[in-house]
Amino acid sequence: MQKVIVLDFGGQYNQLIARRVRECNVYCEVKPCTTPLSLLRSESPIGIIFTGGPNSVYDPASPQVDPAIFELGIPILGICYGCQLLAHHLGGKVTAGTEDTAREYGKTETYFNTDCKLFKGLPREGVTWMSHGDYMEKVPVGFSLVAHSDACPTVAICDEKRSFYGVQFHPEVNHTQHGCDMIRNFLYEVCGAMGEWTMGDYRDTAIRQIREKVGDGKVLLALSGGVDSSVAAALVAEAVGNQLTCVFVDHGLMRLNEGDEVEAAFKKWDVNFVRANAEALFLGKLAGVTEPERKRKIIGEEFIRVFEAEAKKIGMVDYLVQGTIYPDVIESGLGTSATIKSHHNVGGLPDYVDFKEIIEPLRMLFKDEVRSLGRELGLPEYLVMRQPFPGPGLAIRVIGEITKEKLDTLRLADFIFRDEVAKAHLEHSMNQYFAVLTNMRSVGVMGDGRTYDYILALRSVTTTDFMTADWTRIPYDVLDRVSTRIVNEVPHINRIVYDITSKPPATIEWE
């Protein structure tokens, strides 16, 4: 299969570049810029993309490449820092910009030479997203200037004889008009891509590889009910059937009917599905606990213990399946990239679980690709498009002490909120939405009597990366229907509030 390699120089958009390439049906992997040239050569990529980065190429401490990379005969696209790296290594000159010499940030009107393959078939001008403090003062011999802005004459360069291209802007972000078309042009017009990367092909290949690896061995998977673990389970189930045991720890902290839905989704496969009903155990351990971090630790510890108990019943297993996905790998740090978060394998499974090897069948997939694979495998849409749900479940959406009565109240209120959003066909305009049962009570009037009941908060956000988020402008008539239904159908709630705080300063979850 054809492959493109993204060499990471510490850019914040390295994942996004890879996603854009894959959206064009071309397989792509992100590798550190320190990857040995021999390894790059051995993988026979049809193209290489240099990412952006926070450094200046003329700084001796900045990340560089082996100059021999330019002798491989492989097309190269340099983005931002990557563009300047091309110029720096091939005889150009990069210097610090000033306000008068092409230091540019944000949306910038840009003009293109559409005779260049990179901009073939695109408008001659459009908005690009700039983020560079340095600029190319001198372009290398053999390169042509193929884009400029009012402030910068060297926005894009190319040497089409050697298939080298560089852009100072970021074509991978949505702010750049026709940016994805530029990446597609690089792939198809320059690299000769054939568009072989599809989820159907990935499914068939992954199933064959899992069968070859597992043979007649026994496989164990901790099924949380989330998208990643569910798709991993479905893929392995398709490959080895009843050699797989899925342990679903039902802690009683899930949304309405969610445990039953997860169990029903796997009835189509001949797997050993173990549902450990541990609600009473978890609620007992959480009794009287109000501090959020303490709740999280208790739930994590008990999950491990319940899983251990079920694993002991199964006995020796050969393989442990994990739902690791590509962002987990990248965010753990690649080369000069900052470590965004440490990767935790299945919530920290106990060392005692005895197995030969870990299988991570989703390790090279992005989240949207995992969802596509789930559809290919026939998982129901409610699982494939399941919203992000915290590991501790509703325990951190019930503020204060947790009781079964509070959980049941929240479950029903949350269901009504999600039900009305679905009826209004708004679910695809929101990235996460849910209800929170606060620990505050207020005076109300229902019928002719005074009430003193809980305040329920509604939360909905729109986001692209969950690192920042804006509160959703839900139409008033939808909020009105939600409020009316909840106070009429759910006991112990007499007031509804809507959280209109963005992230930052707030977080998406309340605890």
pLDDT of residue 383: 87
191 catalytic? Reply is no
Q: Tally the C-alpha atoms within 13 A of residue 364's C-alpha that lie toward its C-beta.
A: 15
The DSSP-derived string for 430-499 is -SEEEEEEEEEEEEEEETTEEEEEEEEEEEEEE-SSSSSBEE----HHHHHHHHHHHHHHSTTEEEEEE-
**Helical ranges in 321-454 per DSSP H:** 326-331, 367-376, 381-384, 404-423
Average pLDDT over residues 157-181: 93
Q: Tell me the C-alpha distance between 483 and 455, whole Å.
A: 11
pLDDT of residue 103: 56
170 catalytic? Reply is yes
Confidence of residue 338 (pLDDT cuts 50, 70, 90): very low
pLDDT of residue 3: 95
- Least confident span in 189-198, 268-277, 346-355, 447-456: 346-355
CA torsion 340-345-349-351 (nearest 10°) is -100
Confidence of residue 343 (pLDDT cuts 50, 70, 90): very low
Percent of the chain residues topping a pLDDT of 70: 92
Confidence of residue 349 (pLDDT cuts 50, 70, 90): very low
pLDDT of residue 102: 58
Could you give the 3-state DSSP secondary structure of residue 193? coil
- The answer, yes or no, to whether residue 348 has pLDDT greater than 50, is no
Residues making up the chain, counted from first to last: 511
Catalytic residue among 170, 191, 246, 369: 170
Q: Tell me the C-alpha distance between 413 and 399, whole Å.
A: 15
Which residues 6+ apart lie within 8 Å of 327 measured at CB? 15, 366, 367
- The answer, yes or no, to whether residue 339 has pLDDT greater than 50, is no
Question: Which amino acid would we find at residue 89?
Answer: H
Q: Which residue has the higher pLDDT, 78 or 302?
A: 78
pLDDT tens-digit readout, 239-261: 999 999 999 999 999 999 988 98
pLDDT of residue 411: 96
pLDDT of residue 395: 92
pLDDT of residue 20: 92
Could you give the 3-state DSSP secondary structure of residue 346? helix
172 catalytic? Reply is yes
pLDDT tens-digit readout, 92-119: 988 876 665 555 667 889 999 999 999 9
Q: Which residue has the higher pLDDT, 102 or 154?
A: 154
Average pLDDT over residues 205-223: 92
Long-range contacts of 63-72 (CB under 8 A, 24+ apart): 63/9, 63/10, 63/33, 63/34, 63/335, 63/336, 64/33, 64/89, 65/7, 65/33, 65/89, 66/37, 68/37, 69/37, 69/40, 70/162, 70/164, 72/37, 72/40, 72/41
Q: Which residue has the higher pLDDT, 97 or 8?
A: 8
CA nearest to 298, candidates 386, 232, 431, 396: 396
Catalytic residue among 33, 80, 83, 158: 80
pLDDT tens-digit readout, 43-70: 999 999 999 988 888 999 999 999 999 9
Q: Which residue has the higher pLDDT, 330 or 372?
A: 372
Average pLDDT over residues 144-155: 90
- The answer, yes or no, to whether residue 170 has pLDDT greater than 50, is yes
Domains of the chain: 3-190 (3.40.50.880), 199-384 (3.40.50.620), 403-498 (3.30.300.10)
Average pLDDT over residues 210-230: 90
- The answer, yes or no, to whether residue 314 has pLDDT greater than 90, is no
Average pLDDT over residues 469-485: 96
- The answer, yes or no, to whether residue 493 has pLDDT greater than 90, is yes
How much is the pTM?
A: 0.70
Catalytic residue among 172, 238, 310, 369: 172
pLDDT of residue 132: 66
pLDDT tens-digit readout, 362-403: 988 888 889 999 999 999 988 898 887 887 889 999 999 999
CA angle 55, 58, 62 (to 5 degrees): 40
- The answer, yes or no, to whether residue 344 has pLDDT greater than 90, is no
Q: Tell me the C-alpha distance between 269 and 266, whole Å.
A: 6
The rounded mean pLDDT for the chain is 88
pLDDT of residue 1: 83
Which residues 6+ apart lie within 8 Å of 79 measured at CB? 11, 17, 49, 50, 51, 52, 166, 167, 169, 170, 171, 172
CA nearest to 479, candidates 441, 424, 415, 407: 424
